[in-house]
Structure 1
């Protein structure tokens, strides 16, 4: 069973690293958090500025997207932490 947990932890870690790489590949605006240390709260706290010359983003769409990203990141972090705790408990036996 510990092999299953170790594999699950490895998959979760790979998902988090891939997300960090994707975020890190994008140009960094003023408000970008360090992807290696990004938290769901960082995503919730992002605010976009609008311009008078161009129509800005559709705010409800941006908010909905940020909500989905933050929830996905929360899930990944929670699953990773749970897997690490299970692995530590099994290794401690």
Structure 2
């Protein structure tokens, strides 16, 4: 059995099918690439937002402590010198604060 030569219209039909298949493959690859990029961008945005929030919270806590710590120390010092000695601090630390 001998193969018959293809006509021009058959060659164009095969070429059209090949190009359509290639177009679909490229389109699907583009969709998956877009979804992957979007997922990566979302994760990175969440990481950066968490870093910024942590830095701002730390700054706010430090500013609060700097403004309130002198007053707290003044109040604690009114308890008397025997309430803030090294031996008592060591015993509290060993007992776990109880």
TM tier, smaller: 0.3 to 0.5
Normalising by structure 1, we get a TM-score of 0.39
Q: TM-score, normalised by structure 2?
A: 0.37
Larger Rg: 2
Relative to total residues, which structure has the larger helix share, 1 or 2? 2
